[in-house]
């Protein structure tokens, strides 16, 4: 990492939202029948664009017209550990909050598993979930729909961003967006995860507001006029679905990229060298291979995914 990317906005003071149905979790009831809809932020503590959006929804006292709206700041402890000298560290405290959802039946021994136990009844209650994330590197926004048809259909109903990534998550552990009914093709529950862009870009806040407004209106719990003005952005002409087929992990943390990739680059020819891992070439397995969230600059640990490869469908 040559240097830390600029931080283009002020971080909100969230302590005023501590008191809720549980700490930093707010449940807004309409009193009328309807879906339970959840917007979650700070699943990773340094992914601040989502926190700005949830802070703004609470500040504007947005109320659901039907059903229930749940708003959360997930890894608030990691957020409060933010230090501008080491801004990437506040992603988590003990472990990744978004990899613990397959083992919540085990004793909670970390900040993140304890917090997940607090969030669990709210996540279980939600029929529809939007989880707001952002990215380490400057990449175009991506909607992570999960592996199921219903996730892709929901992402298309939202209508933005251009890229929908259909993926099965991470070998390291289950994500919140795949938990319970969200990961069950037979369940009507549905979840989306938006990667809004680089963590501290002003443009990531624009994307987070746009996607959240579209999500809330699509679920029917609010109308657009209930939301702060100016959140909706123009709808892109088309969207495309990228199906993730491979996750390339570095064996010992010695991966070097052949060039700097932007993310969502389409590599025309099969066999193109993407980089070397311990001097072993890593090549594209098929023509028109999409590079999903390549890590151009993060320090690598053994076993970490350096890029995921996808096929346009």
Q: Which residues bind Zn ion (CB under 5 A)?
A: 44, 47, 133
In angstroms, what is the minimal distance from the CB of 226 to Zn ion?
27
In angstroms, what is the minimal distance from the CB of 133 to Zn ion?
3
In angstroms, what is the minimal distance from the CB of 192 to Zn ion?
13
In angstroms, what is the minimal distance from the CB of 177 to Zn ion?
11
Between 75 and 160, whose beta carbon lies closer to Zn ion?
A: 75
Dihedral Cα 195, 197, 198, 203, nearest 10 deg: -140
Helix ranges (DSSP H) in the chain: 48-59, 76-80, 111-125, 149-158, 202-219
Between 43 and 284, whose beta carbon lies closer to Zn ion?
A: 43
Q: Are 149 and 184 in contact (CB under 8 A)?
A: no
Structure tokens at 215: 């999500």
Between 133 and 177, whose beta carbon lies closer to Zn ion?
A: 133
- Cα–chain center distance at 108: 23
Between 75 and 219, whose beta carbon lies closer to Zn ion?
A: 75
Distance CA 41, CA 123 (A): 13
Residues 6+ apart with CB under 8 A from 139: 195, 197, 198, 262, 263, 264, 293
Q: What are phi and psi of 211, to 5 degrees?
A: -65, -40
In angstroms, what is the minimal distance from the CB of 175 to Zn ion?
9
Which residue sits closest to Zn ion, CB atoms considered? 133
Nearest partner of 38 among 228, 170, 182, 142, judged by Cα: 182
Distance CA 208, CA 83 (A): 23
In angstroms, what is the minimal distance from the CB of 150 to Zn ion?
22
Q: What are phi and psi of 144, to 5 degrees?
A: -95, 110
Between 199 and 214, whose beta carbon lies closer to Zn ion?
A: 199
Between 47 and 77, whose beta carbon lies closer to Zn ion?
A: 47
Between 160 and 198, whose beta carbon lies closer to Zn ion?
A: 198
Q: Are 101 and 178 in contact (CB under 8 A)?
A: yes
Q: 3-state class of 168 per DSSP?
A: coil
In angstroms, what is the minimal distance from the CB of 39 to Zn ion?
15
């Amino acid at each position: 990492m040559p240097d830390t990317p600029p931080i283009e906005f002020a971080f909100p003071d969230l302590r005023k939202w501590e008191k809720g149905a549980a700490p930093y979790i707010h449940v807004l009831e309409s009193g009328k029948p309807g879906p339970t809809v959840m917007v979650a932020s700070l699943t990773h503590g340094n992914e601040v664009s989502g926190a700005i959006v949830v802070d703004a929804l609470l500040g504007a006292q947005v109320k659901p017209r039907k059903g229930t709206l749940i708003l959360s700041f997930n890894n608030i402890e990691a957020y409060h550990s933010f230090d501008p000298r080491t801004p990437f560290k506040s992603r988590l405290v003990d472990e990744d909050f978004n990899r613990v959802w397959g083992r919540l039946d085990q004793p909670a021994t970390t900040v993140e598993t304890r917090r997940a136990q607090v969030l669990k009844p709210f996540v279980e209650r939600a029929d529809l979930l939007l989880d707001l994330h952002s990215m380490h590197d400057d990449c175009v926004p991506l909607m992570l729909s999960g592996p199921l048809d219903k996730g892709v259909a929901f992402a298309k109903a939202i209508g933005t961003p251009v890229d929908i990534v259909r993926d099965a998550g991470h070998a390291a552990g289950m994500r919140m967006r795949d938990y319970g009914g969200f990961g069950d093709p037979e369940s009507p529950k549905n979840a989306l995860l938006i990667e809004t862009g680089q963590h501290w870009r002003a443009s990531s806040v624009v994307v987070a507001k746009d996607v959240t407004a579209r999500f809330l209106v699509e679920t029917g719990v609010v109308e657009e006029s209930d939301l702060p003005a100016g959140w909706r952005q123009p709808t892109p002409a088309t969207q495309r679905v990228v199906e993730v087929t491979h996750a390339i992990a570095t064996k010992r943390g010695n991966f070097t990229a052949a060039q700097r990739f932007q993310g969502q680059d389409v590599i025309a020819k099969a066999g193109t060298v993407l980089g070397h891992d311990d001097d072993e070439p890593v090549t594209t397995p098929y023509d028109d291979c999409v590079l999903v969230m390549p890590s151009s600059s993060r320090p690598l640990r053994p076993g970490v995914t350096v890029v995921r490869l996808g096929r346009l469908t």
